């Protein structure tokens, strides 16, 4: 991604391919772009169209590389709204409404309760991609989020949603009390 691009720019660009549910640009400890991001589209068709439209696309003198992210094989993608709920994500607001939150709050459904972990005492420079990369060694991750304040900065905690209970339990055993960039992580099942 071009270095000056922020999540809103990315969302605006990909909106031409379909309904964008979320867009993120990974930021380093200095709040500068790391040159990559992620876009969650409402359907597989929208995602395929986005890949076709933007892989190899020149944007601000940079050539984009766009590919599908890895999705758990047992995830039902037939209905995007059910998929969002199963992942613990809120459904998008009705047409004409905007979310007031910079980072959507997780609304965990009962079937995801045991798979969602709270991760506290994160280093403030930790981004969602860092959290996902760290916890990947415990099992299959569906989603990782770092809570952001109104100023767009980390609040020092986040959540990791695993594909199954066993992987979530493994992550608690592996990472509760784990030293990460000078901080001792507090990891437990989200209530």
Domain with CATH 3.30.70.330 in the chain: 7-63, 101-189
- Fold that domain 7-63 belongs to in CATH: Alpha-Beta Plaits (3.30.70)
3-state DSSP call for residue 122? coil
- In this prediction, residue 89 carries a pLDDT of 45
Residues 161, 24, 45, 12: is their CA dihedral positive or negative? positive
- In this prediction, residue 113 carries a pLDDT of 56
CATH architecture of 101-189: 2-Layer Sandwich (3.30)
| Cβ–Cβ < 8 Å for 187, 135 | no
Match 């589209």 to its residue by tokens. Answer: 41
Q: Report yes or no on whether pTM surpasses 0.75.
A: no
- Residue 114 pLDDT class (50, 70, 90 cuts): low
Cα(60)–Cα(1) distance, integer angstroms: 9
Q: What average pLDDT does the structure give for the chain? A: 78
Q: Does residue 110 surpass a pLDDT of 50?
A: no
- Residue 180 pLDDT class (50, 70, 90 cuts): very high
Counting Cβ atoms within 10 Å, is residue 9 exposed (0-12), middle (13-18) or buried (19+)? Answer: middle
Q: Which residues in 55-189 belong to E strands, given as ranges?
A: 58-59, 62-63, 116-120, 141-148, 154-162, 179-180, 183-184, 186-189
Match 């981004």 to its residue by tokens. Answer: 127
């Amino acid at each position: 991604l071009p270095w000056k691009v922020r999540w809103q720019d990315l969302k605006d660009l990909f909106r031409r391919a379909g309904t964008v549910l979320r867009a993120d640009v990974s930021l380093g400890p200095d709040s500068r772009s790391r040159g990559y991001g992620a876009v969650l589209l409402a359907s597989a068709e929208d995602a395929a169209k986005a890949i076709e439209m933007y892989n190899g696309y020149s944007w601000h003198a940079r050539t984009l590389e766009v590919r599908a992210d890895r999705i758990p094989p047992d995830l039902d993608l037939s209905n995007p709204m059910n998929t969002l709920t199963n992942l613990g994500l809120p459904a998008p607001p009705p047409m004409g409404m905007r979310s007031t939150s910079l980072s959507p709050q997780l609304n965990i459904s009962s079937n995801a309760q045991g798979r969602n972990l709270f991760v506290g005492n994160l280093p403030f420079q930790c981004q969602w991609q860092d959290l996902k990369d760290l916890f990947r060694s415990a099992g299959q991750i569906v989603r990782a989020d770092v809570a952001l304040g109104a100023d767009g900065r980390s609040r020092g905690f986040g959540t990791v949603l695993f594909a199954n209970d066993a992987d979530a339990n493994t992550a608690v055993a592996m990472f509760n009390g784990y030293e990460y960039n000078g901080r001792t992580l507090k990891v437990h099942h989200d209530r």
